C-alpha cells in the first residue's frame, strides 16, 4: 500500500501542474482578439486605437518589424510634403464642395500617422496643421451637387477626428478647442441625418459602416473631451444601427458581401474599424462572428491569376476600392492567426499595378495605410493556404457566385472562370425580405439597398492563361446588354431597348438597379450545379425568374464546361411555353479593354481579341448547326461613370418552340479547334469538338426529367467523365438568429457603464479646482436646468469640504459625487426619445417615402432595472459589463496586481508543499497523515489553477 501511495500522487500533481507550463492557443486565451478593453480609463489623447504610452513602441516598430509598411507611410507623407499644392484642401468653400471630396479626409489619416511616427520630419507637423486649418475653415464638408449624401462628410470626419486624436499634443490650445468644435458640429449633423437618411436603416450597404464609423470616431473624441451626454447619444445611435447589421450578417454564410469585391472592401474598410473600436472602448467582441470566419475566402477566391484583378460582379473597378492589405492583416491578427492574411497582403502589394487600368485611385490609395500598420502582427509568418498553387472550385452560396482558378501565378494554362446566378441582394437579404425574417427591424426592401448590383443572372467571365477574354463591364449603366447574358426579342412595354427585353431589374433612366417593387423585387437566379471531375469543371445556372413572366420563358438554363484550361464550352438552353411571344435571343459578351474582331471559319461565325501576339477566339452555333454573324462594337457610357464603356460582341439567333440550344466555344492560343458541331432532342444536346490533340463528345442532359441521373457526360478520347445529379447544389438557408432583439440590446448595455466611468474620472480630475463648477455644468448641460443647479451646488459644497479633509479621502469623495449625480444619460434618452417621435411623425407627413422607414428601431434605448449583480432587458438576464480597462488603467491594474501577487505566493506555497511531500513524507508517516497532506496539496493546486485562469482573463 505504501508503495502505491508514494509515487502516484507525485505523478498526479505533476500532471495537474502541466497545463500551467503548456502555452494555451491564442484563440482560446484571447477570444476578444487580444484587444484590451479600456473601460473608460483614458489618459488623454491619443486614445482611439492606442494610448499615449504606445506611441514610442509604434515608432520603434516603424524602424523594425513594421518598416515595410512604415516605408509606404513615409513615401505618402513625403509626396504630400513635396507637392503640398496638390494635396492640401482649398481654402475656398466653393472649390472644396465643387466635386466629390473624400480624398481630403482619406489622406489626412495617413498624414497624421506619418507625423506621429516621424515627429522630427521637417515640415510634416506644419503641413498637417495647415491641412486641418483648411478643413476647419469650411462651412460644410458636403458636396454642393449632392447635399443629400453624407458619405463625403463621413470621410472628412473620420480623417479629421483621427488626426485630432493622433496629433492632439502637437496642437495649440486654440486649435484643440476650435477643431473639437468642428468635430462636434460634423458629428451632430451626422447624428441628425442618421434618422432620416437611408444609411440609418438600409443594412449591409457600404454607406452604413462608412457613415457610422465616422460618427463613432467623432463621438469617442467628443467623449474624451468631456462632452458626455451628446457623445453618449451618438454612440448609442451608431451601435443600435451597426449591431443590427452584425446580427443580420450572420445569415450570410459564405463570408461574401452582395455588392461585390470592390464595394466589399469599401464596406470592410469601416466595418473592421468598427469591430476594433467597439472591442477596445466597449468590450463588444465580434471576432468569432461566423461571417468574419469565412470572409478570407471572399478575398482569396476572387483574385484572377497574376494577383492584380478580381471578379468584377456588380459595380466595380478592376480590383479593390480600399485596401485590401489592411483588411487582410486585420483578419490574420484577430481571426485567422495562421499567416495567410499577411501572405496575401504581401502578394497583392508586390503585384500592384502602378500605372494604367487597375491602379489604385488617388483618393483611396493611402487611406488604409495607418490601420494596416496598426493591425499588422509581425509574429505571424506569411504562409499561403495549403491549396495555393492549384486551381480550386469555390461556390459562394449566398452571393450566388462560382469561381475556379483564383489566386494563381499568371502563365500558360493558369485560367480563371467565374459564374453568377443568385438571388437579388444575395440569399440572406432576399430571404429576409421575402420570408419576413427579423420583422422587428425589417420592413421589406426598404431596409436594404441593392442599387449597385447589375442585371447579371447567369453571367460569366473567362480568362484563359489569366488573360481577360470575357469580362464584366465594370461600373456602368444597369442595362442587361452590358452583362454577359441574354435579351429576348419581344415588344414588351417597359423595355429599355425595344424590341429587346432584358432582365426585370435593369434601369433605363437611373444609375441604380431596380429592386424595391414590382417584378424586380422578386428577381433571382440560381446555381444548380458546380463540380469538378478529372480536371474538368461543370457549372449550371437557371435564370428564367430574372425575366418578365409575360415572355413565357420556362427555362433559361446556362451550362459551362471547362474541358481544358484553355477551352470553354458554353451551352444556352431556352425552353419556351407554347404561347411565348419571344421570337429571338440576343447574347452579349464583353471585354473592357480589348476590341473584338469578326471571324468566320467554314460557315461558322466567330470573333477574337488580340493580346500581344496571341489571339483568343470564340465561335457559336445553334442546334440546327446554323451560325449567324455577330456584331462587334463599343458601347459608350454616359457622363458620370468612372469608365468610358466596353467592347462587345453581340450574337442574335432565332428561337424555336419548345427548345432552342446555342453553343459557344472560347479558347486560347494553345488550342486549335478543328471541328465543332451539335445536335439535340427533347432530353439532351450532343456537342462534338475536335482539337489537334483530342476529341471531345459532350452529352448534356437539359430536360427537367432525364432518363439518367446525370447533368452531363464527357468522352475525352476514350475516357468517360460524368457529372452526377446527386452532386447538385443544395440550398440550406440559415434560421433566424434566436432572440435577436435581446442580443442587440445586451450589447447596447455596454455603453452606459463606460460613460459613467468617464463621468467619475472627469469629476475626479477637477476636484478642488476652479474649473469644477464649469466641468459639472458641461456634464449636465442637457439635463433639467433647475435640478442641474441644485445638483451642482451640492457637489460644489462637497468639493469645498474636501479641502478641509484629508487627501486620502479623495477616492471616497469621487464615489459620493457620482452617487449625488442624477442619471444624466437616462434623462437624455427620455428627452431624445420624445423628440425623435415628434421628428418621425413630421418626416412621415412631409415625405411618406422617408417616413415609412422603421425609424422606431432607432428610438429604443433599452435600459432595464439594474442592481449590483446584473440587469434585466425584457425579462432576460444579462451580465453586468465589467468596468476594467487596460493594464495601464487604474481599475484593471489594481485587480491584476492583486491576482499576480496571490498567484506568485500560491505558486511558491505549492512548490514548498510538494518539496515537503517528496522529502519529509516519503517514510515513517502514517497513511492517514499522508492522505491529509495530499488533500492539502490538491486544494492548493486547484487554487493555483483558479488564480492562473483569472490572471489570463485580465491579462496580468
Catalytic residues: 207, 263, 475
Report how far residue 654's alpha carbon sits from residue 329's, in angstroms, rounded to the nearest whole number.
52
Please give the sequence-ordered ranges of beta strands (E in DSSP) within 216-273, or none if there are none. none
d(CA 117, CA 814): 37
Q: Give yes or no for a contact between 91 and 130, defined as CB atoms under 8 angstroms apart.
A: no
| Contact present, 457 and 420 (Cβ < 8 Å) | yes
CA torsion sign, 675 to 676 to 679 to 685? Answer: positive
Cα–Cα distance between 323 and 818 in angstroms, integer? 45
DSSP 3-state assignment of 771?
Answer: coil
CB-CB neighbours of 737 under 10 Å: 17
| Omega within 30 of 0 (cis) for the link into 802 | no
Under 8 Å between Cβ of 455 and 513: yes
Nearest residue to 571 (alpha-carbon basis) of 668, 501, 662 = 662
The secondary structure of 288-356 as a DSSP string is T-HHHHHHHHHHHTTBPTTSS-B---SS--SS-SS-SHHHHHHHIIIII-SSHHHHHHHHHHHT---SS
Q: Is 661 left (phi over 0), alpha (psi -120 to 50) or beta?
A: beta
Tell me how far apart the alpha carbons of residues 109 and 163 are, in angstroms, rounded to a whole number. Answer: 6
Per-residue DSSP letter, 693: S
- Residue written as grid cell 467565374: 418
* DSSP label at residue 569: E
What is the C-alpha separation between 264 and 227, in angstroms, rounded? Answer: 34
Instruction: Tell the burial category of 603 from Cβ atoms under 10 Å away from its Cβ (0-12, 13-18, 19+).
Output: exposed
Please give the Cα distance from 927 to 930 (Å, whole number): 5
> Which residue, 695, 678, 694, is CA-closest to 686?
678
Supply 834's cell numbers: 420624445
Q: Give the helix/strand (H/E) hosting 341.
A: helix 340-350
CB 602 within 8 A of CB 627: no
Match 512604415 to its residue by C-alpha cell.
70
Residue 355 has a CB neighbour count (10 Å cut-off) of 6
Q: Is the peptide bond before 575 cis (omega within 30 degrees of 0)?
A: no
Helix (H) or strand (E) holding 811: helix 810-820
610 contacts 568 by C-beta, under 8 angstroms: no
Amino acid at each position: 500500500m505504501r508503495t502505491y501511495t508514494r509515487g502516484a500522487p507525485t505523478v498526479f500533481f505533476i500532471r495537474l501542474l502541466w497545463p500551467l507550463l503548456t502555452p494555451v492557443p491564442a484563440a482560446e486565451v484571447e477570444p476578444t482578439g487580444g484587444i484590451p478593453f479600456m473601460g473608460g480609463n483614458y489618459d488623454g489623447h491619443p486614445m482611439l486605437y492606442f494610448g499615449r504610452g504606445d506611441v514610442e513602441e509604434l515608432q520603434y516598430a516603424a524602424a523594425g518589424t513594421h518598416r515595410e509598411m512604415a516605408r509606404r507611410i513615409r513615401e505618402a507623407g513625403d509626396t504630400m510634403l513635396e507637392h503640398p499644392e496638390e494635396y492640401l484642401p482649398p481654402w475656398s468653400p466653393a472649390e472644396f464642395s465643387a466635386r466629390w471630396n473624400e480624398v481630403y479626409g482619406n489622406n489626412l489619416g495617413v498624414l497624421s500617422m506619418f507625423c506621429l511616427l516621424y515627429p522630427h520630419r521637417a515640415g510634416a507637423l506644419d503641413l498637417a496643421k495647415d491641412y486641418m486649418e483648411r478643413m476647419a475653415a469650411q462651412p460644410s464638408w458636403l458636396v454642393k451637387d449632392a447635399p443629400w449624401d453624407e458619405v463625403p462628410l463621413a470621410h472628412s470626419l473620420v480623417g479629421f477626428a483621427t488626426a485630432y486624436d493622433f496629433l492632439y499634443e502637437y496642437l495649440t490650445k486654440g486649435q484643440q478647442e476650435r477643431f473639437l468644435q468642428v468635430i462636434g458640429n460634423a458629428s451632430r449633423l451626422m447624428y441628425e441625418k442618421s434618422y432620416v437618411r437611408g444609411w440609418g436603416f438600409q443594412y449591409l450597404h457600404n454607406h452604413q459602416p462608412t457613415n457610422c464609423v465616422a460618427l463613432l470616431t467623432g463621438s469617442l473624441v467628443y467623449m474624451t473631451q468631456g462632452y458626455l451626454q451628446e457623445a453618449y447619444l451618438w454612440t448609442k445611435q451608431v451601435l443600435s444601427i451597426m449591431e443590427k447589421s452584425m446580427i443580420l450578417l450572420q445569415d450570410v454564410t459564405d463570408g461574401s458581401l452582395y455588392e461585390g469585391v470592390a464595394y466589399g472592401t469599401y464596406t470592410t474598410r469601416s466595418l473592421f474599424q468598427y469591430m476594433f473600436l467597439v472591442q477596445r472602448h466597449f468590450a463588444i467582441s465580434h471576432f468569432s462572428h461566423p461571417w468574419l470566419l469565412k470572409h478570407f475566402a471572399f478575398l482569396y477566391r476572387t483574385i484572377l491569376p497574376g494577383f492584380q484583378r478580381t471578379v468584377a460582379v456588380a459595380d466595380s473597378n478592376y480590383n479593390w476600392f480600399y485596401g485590401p492589405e489592411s483588411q487582410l492583416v486585420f483578419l490574420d491578427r484577430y481571426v485567422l492567426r495562421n499567416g495567410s492574411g499577411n501572405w496575401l497582403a504581401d502578394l497583392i502589394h508586390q503585384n500592384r499595378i502602378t500605372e494604367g487600368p487597375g491602379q489604385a485611385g488617388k483618393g483611396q490609395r493611402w487611406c488604409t495605410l495607418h490601420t494596416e500598420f496598426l493591425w499588422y502582427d509581425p509574429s505571424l509568418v506569411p504562409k499561403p493556404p495549403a491549396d495555393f498553387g492549384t486551381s480550386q472550385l469555390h461556390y459562394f452560396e449566398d452571393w450566388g457566385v462560382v469561381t475556379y482558378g483564383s489566386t494563381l501565378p499568371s502563365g500558360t494554362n493558369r485560367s480563371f472562370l467565374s459564374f453568377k446566378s443568385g438571388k437579388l441582394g444575395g440569399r440572406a437579404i432576399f430571404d429576409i425580405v421575402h420570408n419576413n425574417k427579423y420583422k422587428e427591424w425589417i420592413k421589406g426592401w426598404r431596409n436594404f439597398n441593392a442599387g449597385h448590383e447589375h442585371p447579371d443572372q447567369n453571367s460569366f467571365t473567362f480568362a484563359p492563361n489569366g488573360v481577360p477574354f470575357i469580362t464584366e463591364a465594370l461600373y456602368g449603366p444597369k442595362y442587361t446588354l452590358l452583362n454577359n447574358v441574354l435579351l429576348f426579342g419581344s415588344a414588351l412595354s417597359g423595355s429599355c431597348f425595344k424590341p429587346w427585353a432584358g432582365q426585370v431589374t435593369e434601369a433605363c433612366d437611373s444609375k441604380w438597379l431596380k429592386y424595391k417593387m414590382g417584378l424586380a423585387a422578386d428577381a433571382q437566379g440560381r446555381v444548380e450545379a458546380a463540380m469538378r471531375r478529372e480536371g474538368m469543371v461543370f457549372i449550371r445556372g437557371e435564370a428564367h425568374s430574372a425575366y418578365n413572366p409575360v415572355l413565357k420563358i420556362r427555362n433559361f438554363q446556362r451550362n459551362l464546361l471547362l474541358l481544358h484550361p484553355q477551352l470553354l464550352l458554353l451551352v444556352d438552353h431556352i425552353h419556351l411555353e407554347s404561347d411565348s411571344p419571344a421570337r429571338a435571343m440576343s447574347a452579349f459578351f464583353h471585354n473592357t479593354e480589348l476590341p473584338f474582331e469578326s471571324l468566320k471559319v467554314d460557315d461558322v461565325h466567330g470573333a477574337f481579341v488580340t493580346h500581344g501576339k496571341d489571339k483568343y477566339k470564340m465561335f457559336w452555333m445553334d442546334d440546327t448547326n446554323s451560325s449567324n454573324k455577330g456584331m462587334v462594337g463599343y458601347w459608350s457610357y454616359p457622363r458620370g461613370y468612372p469608365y468610358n464603356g466596353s467592347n462587345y460582341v453581340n450574337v442574335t439567333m432565332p428561337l424555336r418552340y419548345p427548345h432552342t440550344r446555342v453553343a459557344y466555344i472560347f479558347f486560347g492560343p494553345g488550342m486549335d479547334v478543328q471541328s465543332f458541331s451539335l445536335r439535340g432532342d427533347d432530353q439532351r444536346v450532343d456537342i462534338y469538338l475536335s482539337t489537334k490533340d483530342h476529341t471531345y463528345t459532350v452529352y448534356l442532359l437539359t430536360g427537367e426529367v432525364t432518363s439518367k441521373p446525370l447533368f452531363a457526360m464527357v468522352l475525352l478520347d476514350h475516357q468517360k467523365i460524368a457529372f452526377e445529379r446527386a452532386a447538385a447544389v443544395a440550398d440550406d438557408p440559415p434560421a433566424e438568429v434566436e432572440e435577436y432583439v435581446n442580443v442587440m440590446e445586451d450589447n447596447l448595455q455596454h455603453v452606459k457603464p463606460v460613460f459613467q466611468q468617464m463621468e467619475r474620472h472627469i469629476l475626479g480630475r477637477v476636484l478642488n479646482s476652479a474649473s469644477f463648477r464649469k466641468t459639472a455644468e458641461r456634464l449636465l448641460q442637457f439635463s433639467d436646468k433647475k435640478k442641474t443647479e441644485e445638483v451642482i451646488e451640492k457637489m460644489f459644497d462637497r468639493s469645498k469640504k474636501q479641502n478641509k479633509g484629508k487627501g486620502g479621502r479623495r477616492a471616497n469623495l469621487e464615489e459620493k459625487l457620482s452617487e449625488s449625480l442624477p442619471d444624466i444619460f437616462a434623462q437624455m434618452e427620455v428627452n431624445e426619445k420624445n423628440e425623435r417621435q415628434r421628428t418621425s411623425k413630421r418626416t412621415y407627413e412631409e415625405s411618406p417615402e422617408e417616413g415609412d422607414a422603421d425609424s422606431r428601431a432607432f428610438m429604443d434605448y433599452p435600459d432595464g432595472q439594474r442592481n449590483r449583480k446584473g440587469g434585466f432587458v425584457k425579462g432576460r438576464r444579462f451580465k453586468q459589463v465589467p468596468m476594467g480597462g487596460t493594464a495601464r488603467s487604474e481599475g484593471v491594474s489594481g485587480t491584476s496586481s492583486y491576482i499576480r501577487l496571490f498567484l506568485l505566493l500560491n505558486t511558491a506555497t505549492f512548490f514548498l508543499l510538494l518539496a515537503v511531500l517528496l522529502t519529509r513524507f516519503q517514510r515513517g508517516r502514517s497513511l492517514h497523515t499522508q492522505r491529509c497532506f495530499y488533500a492539502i496539496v490538491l486544494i492548493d493546486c486547484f487554487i493555483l489553477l483558479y488564480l492562473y485562469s483569472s490572471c489570463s482573463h485580465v491579462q496580468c
